[in-house]
Amino acid sequence: MRDELLGRPLIDVDVALREPEQSARAFARRSGGVPFPLSERHGAWRVALDRDRTVDFTPLPGTIEDDLATRDFTINAIAEAVGSGKLVDPFEGRRDLNERSLRAVAQTIFDDDPLRLLRAVRLEDELGFLLETETEALLREHANLVDRPSGERILGELRRLSPSGYRRLDELGLLRLLGGSSAGFDRRAACDHPDYDLVVVFGKNLQRFPISNETRRFAQTLLRAEAPADASARAVHRFRRATEPWSLEALAFLGENAFADEVLEAREREPKKPLVRGNELGLAPGPEVGRLLAEIDEERAAGTISTKEEALEYARRNAGSVRGNG
């Protein structure tokens, strides 16, 4: 109801009624959606639709007013009797929508579900609202509960925050309790990667959360990255070898976006095929082959070799030697 009143696109809809499963299955048949139980314990069902839209069907054991009294903020405690157009608004949520204010439905909202501490800031961030004074005081009193929800639920809220949202978390004392800091935004460039802000905020502490292997590799790449020594083809190649496919993200993280053009140009010039393959070097399989192939790729990027013959000659000259970083 909130998003409809704000004129925002409706992505998820909540329907409270007596028979959630029966209604969800009937709606799914009519809409072509996919029904599945959302909570075995509470009897809630969800129907997944196209374009990431969802409709949740939740039990209504008592009155709609009783149901709304369990919600978090007044702007989320507004209902409409289906088909009537009549609003049920026992906590004056419409007034708070007009005032762009986030106000708690009850003093117990954060005890009932500590994830609401993060959701409060996320709603401020997404909607451009501001916590009402007493609700902000209530949030600060319960800040020590912020790490109680599961890591998956915490990440779900954090991923939806902008840098301003993270700064607000910091201001309210919540971010420190999760092992993060928003100070990195002051010295690092912006980036569109969905996990970039998480790395900026949490750094190595991101490992505390149940992140995917892909996110873990992304974070490790950025945290280990060292800026190119200069704009030469050789230096840029070495940097890319250590950071691709996230070289541009690593530059933003390091505050070295001045090298972005060189990275993009190097990607454009990337050869489609290697000059030589490992089985052509005349060496037994092992680390030595990998080292020589990497060196040949670097020399090719630097422009010192350009043919297969030159690559093989380089391998003959350098087999068994260890090259320095110069």
β 54-59/12-17 pair status: parallel
* Model pTM score: 0.83
SS3 38: strand
Which long-range contacts does 160-168 make (Cβ < 8 Å, 24+ apart)? 160/122, 160/125, 160/126, 161/121, 161/122, 161/125, 161/197, 162/125, 162/197, 163/190, 163/197, 164/125, 165/121, 165/122, 165/124, 165/125, 166/197, 166/201, 168/121, 168/124, 168/125
What's the DSSP call for residue 229?
Answer: S
Q: Which two tokens stand for residue 197?
A: 């802000």
pLDDT at 324: 54
Alpha helices in the chain (DSSP H): 2-6, 20-31, 64-68, 93-99, 109-112, 115-127, 133-141, 151-158, 163-171, 174-177, 196-202, 213-224, 233-243, 247-254, 260-269, 287-302, 308-318
pLDDT at 322: 58
pLDDT at 82: 72
pLDDT, tens only, 140-162: 999 999 999 999 999 999 999 99
List per-residue pLDDT tens for the chain, 326 residues long: 676 677 777 677 888 888 888 889 999 999 999 999 987 667 889 999 988 889 888 888 788 898 899 999 999 999 887 766 788 999 999 999 999 999 999 999 999 999 999 999 999 999 999 999 999 999 999 999 999 999 999 999 999 999 999 999 999 999 999 999 999 999 899 999 999 999 999 999 999 999 999 999 999 999 999 999 999 999 999 999 999 999 999 999 999 999 999 999 999 999 999 999 989 988 888 999 999 999 999 999 999 999 999 999 999 998 876 565 54
Single out the residue of 25, 48, 46, 29 nearest to residue 37, CA to CA. Answer: 46
Q: Which two tokens stand for residue 189?
A: 């460039």
CA geometry: angle 191, 196, 198, nearest 5 deg: 140
State whether the Cα torsion 223-229-232-235 is positive or negative.
Answer: negative
Q: CA–CA distance from 119 to each of 86, 111, 174 (Å)?
A: 28, 14, 12
Quick check: bond before 245 cis, omega within 30? yes
pLDDT, tens only, 166-205: 999 999 999 999 999 999 999 899 999 999 999 999 999 9
SS3 13: strand
